[in-house]
Structure 1
Amino acid sequence: MQNKPKYHLFKNTKYALDGLITAIKTESSFKLELFCAIFIIAGIIYIDTSLTNKLILLITGILVLIVELLNSAVENVVDLCTKEIHPLAKNAKDIGSTAVMFTIGLHTVCWVLILLF
């Protein structure tokens, strides 16, 4: 059995938007990061720095949201596969969280370096 529908631009866009809406409704970490993104974007617009630096901050900020969405997807798949506490399930969730942490750290380091130099 293949659970892969035929590609269709509008249907695939709807699937992506459904995923975004689900993440906003159900993922508290994503909601918090999306809320913070409002202030981050305002800060990017406000600071006096080059366009390149602003793009670095914008890209790393969006990267945080992307990695959080991927982490949420991993967590959902793990929860679908097992409700038991299993070392591999824990590892998968912890590794996804580490990816989010590293991305937030990267974004923070970019802010610090751009503001200091």
Structure 2
Amino acid sequence: MINQEQPVSEFKSKSGLKRIFSAVGYSIAGFKTAWKGEHAFRQELFVVVIATIAALLLPVPALQKLLLIGVFVLVLIIELLNSAIEAVVDRVSLERNPLSKNAKDFGSAAVMLALFLAGATWLVILWPLFTGG
């Protein structure tokens, strides 16, 4: 009988607690790499810190505070995914290619949409505070 199993990465072979600890280590490495090499990530993280402090001080219900903070955390998540896409595209080839450009532009557009969502969320929640409505 022919072995029909797909090749498995050596990084996927861990199970149980070892896998969890490895995943935490990979995540910390990802944050460190993003902090060191991604200007947009550092800028957005700065905004998240300021927005979190502001949201916690605002006289709005807890769920709205969570939403105000959460939309900026979503921006960070999408920025990390965008950076991952860019890293993979650059790993494949540094040559200019329309497909590579599309991949990077799609990631950038996703970040922009997340920023628009964050801005709209803040506007909708804060509008009544400033207009009395």
What amino acid does structure 2 have at the position aligned with 1:65? L
Counterpart in the other structure of 1:55 = 66
Q: Which aligned segments of 4 or more residues in structure 1 are displaced greater than 3 angstroms?
A: none
Q: Is 2:107 the counterpart of 1:96?
A: yes
Q: Offset of 1:35 from its aligned partner?
A: 1.1
Q: Distance in 1 between matches of 2:10 and 2:31?
A: 19
**Is the contact between residue 48 and residue 69 of structure 2 (CA under 8 Å) also seen in structure 1?**
no
Counterpart in the other structure of 1:9 = 20
What amino acid does structure 1 have at the position aligned with 2:87? N
What percentage of aligned pairs have identical amino acids? Answer: 38
Q: Offset of 1:45 from its aligned partner?
A: 0.9
Q: Offset of 1:87 from its aligned partner?
A: 0.3
Which residue of 82, 86, 90 maps to 2:93?
82
Q: Distance in 1 between matches of 2:119 and 2:104?
A: 23
Which residue of 29, 34, 47 maps to 2:45?
34
What amino acid does structure 2 have at the position aligned with 1:114? I
Q: Secondary structure at the match of 2:107?
A: helix
Counterpart in the other structure of 2:127 = 116
Q: Distance in 1 between matches of 2:20 and 2:126?
A: 41
Q: Secondary structure at the match of 2:8?
A: coil
Normalization by structure 1: what TM-score? 0.95
Normalization by structure 2: what TM-score? 0.84
Instruction: Point out where structure 2 has 5 or more consecutive residues left out of the alignment.
Output: 1-6, 129-133
Matched residues, number: 117
